[in-house]
Chain A
């Protein structure tokens, strides 16, 4: 008897083994199925709802995946051998109800139990996103979520440039970019998607080129159109998150109204000289209903009182800071991580280098997002803003 055989015999005595049918029943009662096979094996299929932690990083990932050490665990591999070693490790880590599934996934499949083929990353994607894969908060399943996500960036300008550039780098699968402008030389001080040689050409086409050079696996949907009441739902449909990087009030109200109607999170950013504002307007956030843009600003300023940024200017790095805070919020929302800026406004003062957090409340009288409000319809946004007094 080899040392390995002796060790296995010991483990078989120490670790309770259960059949795939019993494992399925235990999972239904709250147990966690832990798949410790290699990524290429998991790619062939795995039980639905299994936590695919792999053997190599098991000790590092289990704490986040299953924080409660009293939760029953059913560990499985392909045939029921590797799972015994893994189960022993988990017992040493303090898990009190650890089982190994006899016969492993081969038996699970042979017995006709449910199998799903999980989304997996290919070799190039694994290499590209390796720093994400190392993070327990993202990992393989989080990266798979990002790759299958769709984010719409409204405006390929000062805010949209950094947010879409970093979202593409992070592996957002589909990026929509709405803009109908052409690149001007005065944009280049902050709009980092564009280049000197593209002055006079379409911003959407320029954005597509820059993003494709960084990450050719991202699908870019270019929407070279002025957003309007007539096209907003067609453009917004199918996206998971909207990033508002627009440069004018009419479009901000339109983006808000469409997001409220479609139930989409609206990641809002704005900048003025050395200052920026960031928040997430999302009345339908499942964990805590937040306000919409109209709750905060029921009406825009009239022309003579509007902060005129085109005249006042903006420090070039400011939209970089604010745009990346927007990208950070978008990724958190897509992965369900942390605490998003729903109902919270982050105010950045670049001169003091300080952030102030302000609480934003829903307006019970909001015609657009109040609990009993019926969507009042889109309006003529240019006229709505021009009539402001």
Chain B
């Protein structure tokens, strides 16, 4: 197990009571995300789909590299790694006829 930090993007900080970084002990990216989900209820649904795969509008980086070009969620972690969760963000369209605001 290695202690790594998970950077929480602003759209997901409502799940972490505003914390921008969560430390977890994990050997893989999947394990880190699952631990994050255990500690902060609801956040995992925003990152993984019901089958446990990464959602198509979210990217996970270990350091500067996208896990898609590493070993996906099985990407191993080293002590001190920084995991960044990067969600798609569109903007601020305010359209009352459509609840999807971005």
The reply to whether A158 and B92 contact each other, CB–CB distance below 8 Å, is yes
Looking at the assembled complex, report how far the CB atom of B12 sits from the nearest CB atom of chain A, in whole angstroms.
8
Q: Given A306-B101, A307-B102: A252 and B10 within 8 A (CB)?
A: no
Q: Given A247-B102, A248-B93: A307 and B11 within 8 A (CB)?
A: yes
Question: Closest residue of chain B to A360, judged by CB?
Answer: B66
Contact of B55 with A by CB under 8 A: yes
The reply to whether A347 and B102 contact each other, CB–CB distance below 8 Å, is no
The reply to whether A309 and B56 contact each other, CB–CB distance below 8 Å, is no
- Docked pose: A299 CA to B46 CA in angstroms: 14
- Docked pose: A129 CA to B102 CA in angstroms: 38
Contact of A270 with B by CB under 8 A: yes
The reply to whether A345 and B86 contact each other, CB–CB distance below 8 Å, is yes
- Docked pose: A312 CA to B14 CA in angstroms: 11
Q: Which of B42-57 contact A (CB under 8 A)?
A: 45-46, 55-57
Looking at the assembled complex, report how far the CB atom of B68 sits from the nearest CB atom of chain A, in whole angstroms.
7
Determine the chain A residues whose CB is within 8 A of the CB of B61 once the complex forms: 358-359
How many residues on the B side are at the interface (Cβ–Cβ under 8 A)? Answer: 33
Q: Of A157, A271, A310, A358, which contacts B101 at CB under 8 A?
A: A310
Question: Closest residue of chain A to B56, judged by CB?
Answer: A299
Q: Which of A265-297 contact B (CB under 8 A)?
A: 270-275, 277, 296-297
Contact of A351 with B by CB under 8 A: yes
- Docked pose: A296 CA to B56 CA in angstroms: 8
Question: Closest residue of chain B to A305, judged by CB?
Answer: B46
Looking at the assembled complex, report how far the CB atom of A267 sits from the nearest CB atom of chain B, in whole angstroms.
15
The reply to whether A306 and B65 contact each other, CB–CB distance below 8 Å, is no
Query: Interface digits, A163-192 against B, CB 8 Å rule (1 contact, 0 not)?
Result: 000000000000000000000000000000
- B residues contacting A by CB (< 8 A) are 7, 9-11, 20, 45-46, 55-57, 59, 61, 64-66, 68-69, 84, 86-95, 98-102
- A residues contacting B by CB (< 8 A) are 155, 157-159, 245-249, 252, 270-275, 277, 296-303, 305-312, 314, 345, 347, 349, 351-352, 356-361, 363, 385-386, 388
